[in-house]
Structure 1
Amino acid sequence: MAGCVSTRPIEPQIAAVSTDFSAVQRAEVSLSSFDFEPRNLQLAAGVPVELVFTNVSDSGHNFAAAEFFAAAQIRAEDADLVRNGLIELRGGRGVSIFLVPVAGTYDVDCTHLGHSALGMKGTIVVN
């Protein structure tokens, strides 16, 4: 991640009410002690997806992908789950969010102290 940090809150873009989330692709991401599985997530641009995040460890982790979440169109009822470009999960918790991804390559990491340095990072590629 780059050296500059924005102090401006990241506001998610809300998907149009007409977006059909009834038959979406499903992508599962596990957060564990210093790892994401899968580490590299592949999604289709413009195709609605349900992202299912599960923290399988006992301690807290997050899935920080500020540029990805800022570009995506997020279902209105899920927008509060994404705060400042990340999803925070306490140990043993899970959450699903529905969104429409935008083409690009995005960095992901866990912003908890030292977690990224210990390998908790990855990439989202949207084609």
Structure 2
Amino acid sequence: MRRMKTFVSCLIIFALLCTFVFTDSFFKGESIARLLEMAEALPEDDESFENNKEELSEKAEKIYSLWKKSRKKLEYVASYALIEAADEAMGELYGAYKANDADGFLPAAVKFRDSLERLAVLFGVSFQSLA
């Protein structure tokens, strides 16, 4: 009888642990998906960059703010190399936006999107993320 109680206790603890891990991964995945959606809405050519300054300003500030919040949460569970790549790209992107430099902004936006896509694979539920 005592072994049964121990076994049931272990199952309950395991179920709680699995629930926490999946819930945490889900919310982090949603955060990355939101960032990726915002990054995909950034300008992709010089003309879009130059013609939509007001809209770009709003988008760049929002994505920078959300990245700063998300980065702290991701540091504990994601590869430092992936986070550092995304953080470096965000720094370049934000700096180029502030300097009004389309030549620096556009490649940084592509690098940031790529980094987010890699993080999304890590937090997504798929066989690819388990490898």
Give the TM-score, by structure 1 length. Answer: 0.29
Compare the two structures and name the one with the higher helix fraction.
2
Q: Which has the larger radius of gyration?
A: 2
